[in-house]
Amino acid sequence: MKVKLAKTAGFCFGVKRAVDRVYEEVEKGGSPIYTFGPIIHNEEVVEDLERKGVSVIHTEEELKQLNKGTVIIRSHGVSKHIYQVIEKQGLKMIDVTCPFVLKIHRIVERESALGKHIVIIGNDKHPEVEGIKGWSSGKTTVIESFQEAESFQVPKGEELCVVSQTTFNNNKFQDLVEILSKKGYDILVVNTICNATEERQAEARQIAREVDAMVVIGGRHSSNTQKLYEICKKECNDTYYIQTLNDLDVQKLLSVGCVGITAGASTPKKIIEEVQKEWQK
Ligand code: SF4
């Protein structure tokens, strides 16, 4: 029996860097540790960190209640204002905002200071987009749908700077930009989509084509894992969506010639390895 494990399975670079940094801080011990929002959308990891003394804070109000400890900013990043609150409260800060997100903050800060109207292609409610908005010092609009792009209007002479949420669908981004471009505005477009998601999906599709059965590991509510499952299922009818090894009927799969494994962006390596080991016993 052969096993093909996707190289891109599990944490992307930005999430791995953030989670590793929290565990490093836990190892050091000392002052209370807080993360601004859950460090990752994975209950197991967040609960494990909680047991190790890491608390999650969700709002600016909660942040203002703190007067000692370390606040870790996760890979999604935060607005400029949150940095100021952390500083004002005299808290230690560890910033593990993904460098790809930091790049967007810098673009938005610079271009809005030059007077451009910032357009963010993305989901207005996503924490990454909330953070990006908080770096604009001028007009800012978030566009997610074709309808929003069609109805978008600014006064004549206003310049636009368009950026994207890092995980936005690349094709849809291009289509929305095309709609905006046709309006005849002076427009600077910076495609800030990170290719980690696309690479993971392309590899999963390729592996699913080559194997007899495919296992996709990830949280039930993880939208990127659901997407991976759909992609694999299209290529390989014998595809299984599991959260942990406990959900897998290993006996059933032991008779299969070749199994492929991939995992969503918030699936810890430990869970992936446990599944992989089943075929190496
Ligand atoms: S920008 Fe890309 S690498 Fe960074 S956290 Fe997001 S998906 Fe991961």
pLDDT in tens, 195-247: 898 899 999 999 999 999 999 999 887 778 888 999 999 999 999 999 999 99
Architecture of the domain delimited by 2-10+196-277 = 3-Layer(aba) Sandwich (3.40)
Instruction: Return the CATH fold of 13-97.
Output: Rossmann fold (3.40.50)
Q: Which residues of the chain have pLDDT under 70?
A: none
Residue burial 23-54, b: 16+ Cβ < 10 Å; e: rest: eebeeeeeeebbbbbbbbbbebbbeebeeeeb
Q: What is the pLDDT of residues 77-101, one digit of tens each?
A: 999 999 999 999 999 999 999 999 9
Separation of 167 CA from ligand 1 center, angstroms?
7
Lookup: tokens for 105: 């903050």
- For atom 5 of ligand 1, the residue with the nearest CA is 14
Q: What end-to-end distance do the CA atoms of the chain give, in Å? A: 11
Q: Is 255 annotated to bind ligand?
A: no
Span from the CA of 86 to the centroid of ligand 1 (angstroms): 24
Instruction: Tell me if 112 is assigned to a ligand binding site.
Output: no
* Number of Cβ within a 10 Å radius of residue 147: 10
CATH classification of 100-193, choosing from 3.40.50.720, 3.40.1010.20, 3.40.640.10, 3.90.76.10? Answer: 3.40.1010.20
Q: What is the pTM of this model?
A: 0.86
Q: How far is the CA of 88 from the centre of ligand 1 (A)?
A: 29
Same fold, 2-10+196-277 and 100-193: yes
> Any binding-site annotation on 236?
no
Task: State the maximum Cα–Cα separation within the chain, in Å, rounded to a whole number.
Answer: 68
Q: How many residues in the chain? A: 281
Domains of the chain, residue spans: 2-10+196-277, 13-97, 100-193
Ligand 1 atom at minimal distance to the Cα of residue 98: 4
Residues 114 and 132: their CA atoms lie apart, in Å, by: 17
Closest residue to atom 2 of ligand 1, CA basis: 194
Q: 32 near 72, Cβ under 8 Å?
A: no
